[in-house]
A = this chain, B = another copy of it.
């Protein structure tokens, strides 16, 4: 196991009606003037935003609002949020929504206390300071509710880039599984896929003898395999929603990925797709993962065989471990299709003729020098071949 530091100080309030604690939690974590940040229709229609405001008022906390966060959240709204924080002297940001809203809130929180352009953080600069953040989560997916990470799309060139820093870990996150019961099945499935990707990308390691994190990741994958279809079949299955919601947080707060090299190439390959075509991040991952794993199979056949056997229940073929490894990837692919995810680029709205552009932007954008690295180092031509496996 490699040396590591681990710190996950977020306070979680989990369960039915937990959103009513938002006012007291914001006060406890030092808020005196709040920016409520959210997306659009659903938090208004469901009455969630009103309940959040009631709770803040009951705690004596004034607030201003900024709605309009889109999936694949944009830099334009971040700039508006930063201005609003300064003009209104906001000292706490409350994200009410999913990963996009939380990521946008993190960008605003970091930008509001920074003299330069917030995009510096998405160009490689570590986030060292930020306004405190709280979240009320409405979809289990990104894990942003317990992570130090944020991803923003810059409208200038449609570049989708990530930033990170403990300063943007939420002070508290409110997780009420019932709030996710009204999600359309496609969004639920995209969230499930994102969580599965967070787990696979930690699982694909070059570090030896990491039994404890292997087993923990498998535990969360097994949970997703069991609970995912139950949620798609019955969106109002609270227990299945609850198991997925806690798994989604645990998958990404770093506790199951400590001390091991990881592989974020599926996320990186996908980000080019959702930046260019504005598809759902999880839907993109459903198409990307089987292609990347198939391409990388020979790098470590036994690792793919292990997950095939332990998570997907494939019998181990001792005479031909590669057969087991491939069977596991097929099981993943079938699972993702079964919950309603797309199976190829065409279903994502992506075009074959864009592949050279996608591979080039991926391998030369964001300061990269012609390749991306993780489980396997992939050059521009590797990435082109991987995109072609998705046709």
Q: Is A3 an interface residue (CB 8 A)?
A: yes
Given known A219-B219, A255-B255, contact A212–B246 (CB-CB < 8 A): yes
Q: Is A14 an interface residue (CB 8 A)?
A: yes
Q: Looking at the complex, which one of B4, B15, B215, B239 makes contact with A223 (CB distance below 8 Å)?
A: B215
A5-13, A114-122, A272-280 - the one binding chain B: A5-13
- In the bound complex, residues from chain B placing their C-beta under 8 Å from that of A7 are 9-12
Q: How many chain copies?
A: 2
CA distance A266 to B146 in the complex (A): 33
Interface size bracket, A side: 35 or more
- In the bound complex, residues from chain B placing their C-beta under 8 Å from that of A247 are 212
| CB contact list, A172-220 vs B, under 8 A | 177, 208-213, 215-216, 218-220
* A164, chain B: closest CB distance, angstroms: 17
| CB contact list, A109-140 vs B, under 8 A | none
| CB contact list, A235-293 vs B, under 8 A | 239-240, 242-244, 246-247, 250, 255, 258-259
CA distance A289 to B208 in the complex (A): 33
CA distance A351 to B72 in the complex (A): 68
A residues within 8 Å of B by Cβ? 1-18, 177, 208-213, 215-216, 218-220, 222-223, 226-227, 239-240, 242-244, 246-247, 250, 255, 258-259
CA distance A10 to B7 in the complex (A): 6
- In the bound complex, residues from chain B placing their C-beta under 8 Å from that of A258 are 14, 246
CA distance A258 to B14 in the complex (A): 9
